[in-house]
Structures are given as structure tokens and as C-alpha cells.
Amino acid sequence: MPETKTNVGNETSKKYLPLILGTAIFMQMLDSTILNTSLPAIAKDLNESPLNMQNAIVSYVLTLALFMPVSGFLADKFGTRKTFVFSLFLFALGSLLCSLSQDLSHLVISRIIQGIGGSLMTPVGKLALIRTFPKKELLKAMNYAIVPALIGPVLGPLVGGYMVDYLSWHWIFLINIPIGILGMIMSLKFMPDYKAEILNFDFKGFLIFGAASLLLSVSLEMLGNTIHITPVLFTLILGFLMLYMYFRHAKTDDNPIFPLNLFQVRTFRVGILGNLATRLGISAVPLLIPMMVQIAYGESAVTSGWIVAPMALTAMFGKSSVIKILNKFGYRKTLMANTFILGFLICSLAIFSRENSIYCYVPLVAAMGFFNSIQFTSMNSISISDLRNYHTSSGNSLVSVNQQLAIGFGVAFGLVILKLFQADVKLVHNEIHNAFRYTFLVVGSLTILSGFVFRRLHYKDGENLRTDD
């Protein structure tokens, strides 16, 4: 059972903890997306080919995949407050080093330092949230903390475009430093310091699962950036083989890093699978729309950023509605219906032709922001709704790893489908915009089908999270 070792009042913690977690999530999500629009400018300044700059993204993603599984153990051993503050410090330090980079190697090493901090920030902050709030209050708290995860990816390309155009690429990293310092000050003052009695660390399990996460992440990066399928399949199969090896290990180990009996909890099992399936479609859209605006319509990066910006505004409205919706309809009906709606909205992006104004997409994008907010809050909260106290650390870490891989799968899947349609000249009539339209249809259809995963939920699942609000 976890123990609270903190001088912070419980009500004060409840007041500031969602804001602290939200700040960390915003910083991480903004950083993950802001870099995409800035890579050409960084490449020019460092005298590198833009194609080589992919290493700056890959190094960060791989570091996240490797170190996320250990976040629960570190929080239990050293305390949530100390671990969280340390993660913010590493992320801010990595950001500073990135801004000072003189060559690509320096930038990659700095991104690895950033990645170590990022791999701990969100899981540990979320763990503190789970242990602070009773089940009845957890949904509301998580609802506030999740909004930055929706706003960050939308504002990233926009902010990045302006900074590169009017300042310099160094500012896309320097912006993290004041946010990180503010987060550290607030965490030291208001975050509870939970620890738990732990057994010996499952180092063997960590190595096996870490290798699986790395191989799967590498295969995703290769999938989105190569036309040769053989090495991708080999790496992917090897990743799944390592997962099977972990399964064999966890069956016999007394204290595996991720206990297999986590999956005996139906809400956790469905939440993990639903997150993976649903994000395959949803995660590709924030990348595909700006690409379409720039490539098919010939608009600037800043314009493409403004097209997706309404998604952030409507996410706020979704936040204010999700608790009422879940209280009225329950998790099963809400997640199924909401996933179907998101799938149809994605398919609807294929309606417009090249002759239509790009601003025709704005209402659909705005609607997607609203339903994305409902989707992510619902999926994240149902995943941990029935976990026992002794499972919160490992279960929360696994949810974070799963989300990271799911987002990667979604982006890679969207890019692969786009490339396949782009290569079929007869089908798209040598018009790149048609390739995007067909891609939206495939991605949207997949999202609709993923909604059936939530049929496995019982209609009473999540009742322990319902509030009177």
C-alpha cells in the first residue's frame, strides 16, 4: 500500500495537482510537435540535410519508449515529488542543451536527455493524481489535466512556424525553460510525495520489455520513412517476439515490472486495447491535415497551423461537457458512440475537392477537437478505474507506454497509406489531393471499426468514477 510522505495539505494538493500535471503534459506535447515545422531551419543552420534531421525526432521517441516502463518503480522508490521534479529538471536541461547545439550529434544527445525527463514526467505526475484523488473525484481532475494534451499538438506547428519566421529555431527549445522552472517550483510546494513498499526491481523484465518497446518504436519510424518493407517487418516481428519473451518471464517472476494479472481487470484490458485501436486513426489526422494544406493547397506552415487551431478551442468545450455525458450515458455507450462520430468526421474530410476553399475544413476540425476531448478523457480514466492500489504504479506506466506506441503506430500508418495512394497514379489521377482524400477515408473507417472494442465494457463499468457534477 502506498504511503503519503508530504507536508502538503490534501485539499491544497487537489487544487494545484491537475495544473502541475497539465503544465508538464503541455510542455511535452508542445515540444513533440513544434519541432516538426522547424527541422528545415535547424538543418540549414547546422549545415545538415533535412533528411538527416529525422534523428533528432527518433532519438527522443526511442528514449521515451525505453524509460517509460521504469517510471512507476522510480516513483515508488524515491517518491512522486522528487521523481517528478527531477524529470522536469532533466527536460529543461535537455531543452537548454538543444538550443545550444552546434551540430546534429550534439542535438541528438540533448534530445536523449530531454527524452529521459519526458519519459518520467507524465506517468509520475499522473500517478500522483491517481493517488491523491478518490475515485469519485478522479475523472474531474484528469479532465482538467488532459486538456494540454489536446492543445499542445495543435498549437505546436503554429507556434513553431511563428518562432522560426520571426525569431529563430533556438526559441522552440528555450520556451520550455521558464515553463519547466515554474513546474518545479509548483511541484516542490504543492505536489504530494507518495512512496510505496517495493520488492527488488525486475531488471531482467525491464530489459526485455524495453527492448520490445525500442524495436516496435524503430519499426514505426522505419515504416513511415522507407519504401523497403523487409527490414520493417523483421524489426516488427522481433519486437513482438520480445513481448512474447516478456510474457514468459512475467509468468514465472515473483515481481515483474508489469504483472500479468493487470489484464485480468476488464476495464484496464479494454482501455489498453481501445487506446491502441482508436489512436491508429485519430493520431494521423493532426499530421495529415497540415501536410495536405501545405502540399496539396500550397499554403504556408503558419496557415496550416491556423487551420487546425480551432481544435484547441473546441477541446475546452469538450472538457466542460465530458463529465455530464459520462454521468448520463456511461462509459460503454459514450466511448462507442464517440468513436463512431470521430470516424465519420475523419471520413468527411474526404468530401472536399481541390477547388474548395481550405477553410471548408475548419468546422470539421473544430468538431473533432470537441469529440477528441471526450475520447481521451474517457479512455484514460476507464483504463485505471478498477486498478488496486498495489497496481497503480505498474498499470499507469503501462498505459503511458501503450499511448506512446499507439500514437507512433497511428502516425506511421497514416503516412504509409498516404504513400500507397500517392504511388497509384491511376487511382488518384496524378492529383496529390486525392491521395489525402482516400487516406482520410481509410483512416476514418478504421476509427469507426475500433469503436466496437468498447463493446467489451459492461454498462456499469466506470460507475465508481461518476460524480454528482
- Looking up cell 504511503 gives 3
State the CATH architecture for 258-469.
Answer: Up-down Bundle (1.20)
3-state secondary structure of 460: coil
- Looking up cell 478498477 gives 386
* Domain positions in the chain: 1-200, 202-256, 258-469
d(C-alpha 459, C-alpha 332), whole Å: 6
Q: What is the CATH number of domain 1-200?
A: 1.20.1250.20
Instruction: For residue 4, report the phi and psi dihedrals to the nearest 5 degrees.
Output: -95, 125
| C-beta separation of 159 from 390 below 8 A | no
d(C-alpha 465, C-alpha 19), whole Å: 20
For the chain of 469 residues, list the mean pLDDT of each consecutive stretch of 10. 46 77 79 68 75 70 80 83 92 91 86 89 84 76 70 69 74 86 88 75 83 81 67 86 89 80 84 87 82 79 76 77 84 92 93 83 90 86 76 77 79 80 70 85 92 86 64
CA distances from 147 to 139, 150, 152, 275, 328 (A): 13, 5, 9, 17, 21
CA distances from 193 to 13, 80, 123, 170 (A): 10, 5, 14, 34
CA terminus-to-terminus distance, the chain: 30
C-alpha cell at 8: 502538503
d(C-alpha 215, C-alpha 222), whole Å: 10
Beta partners for residue 194, in sequence order: 4
| C-beta separation of 215 from 235 below 8 A | yes
C-alpha cell at 402: 501503450
Q: CA-based Rg of the chain, rounded to a whole angstrom? A: 21
d(C-alpha 128, C-alpha 466), whole Å: 20
* Equal fold, 1-200 vs 258-469: yes
C-alpha cell at 72: 512507476
pLDDT for the residue numbered 8: 46
Of 453, 432, 209, residue with least CA distance to 332: 453
Please, what is the Cα angle at 121 between 387 and 326, to 5 degrees?
A: 45
3-state secondary structure of 3: strand
C-alpha cell at 269: 484490458
The reported pTM is 0.78
Instruction: For residue 9, report the phi and psi dihedrals to the nearest 5 degrees.
Output: -65, 145
pLDDT for the residue numbered 448: 93
| C-beta separation of 81 from 124 below 8 A | no
- Looking up cell 473525484 gives 137
d(C-alpha 289, C-alpha 375), whole Å: 20
Burial of 202-216, coded b for 16+ CB within 10 Å and e otherwise, reads beebbbbbbbbbbbb
d(C-alpha 469, C-alpha 462), whole Å: 15
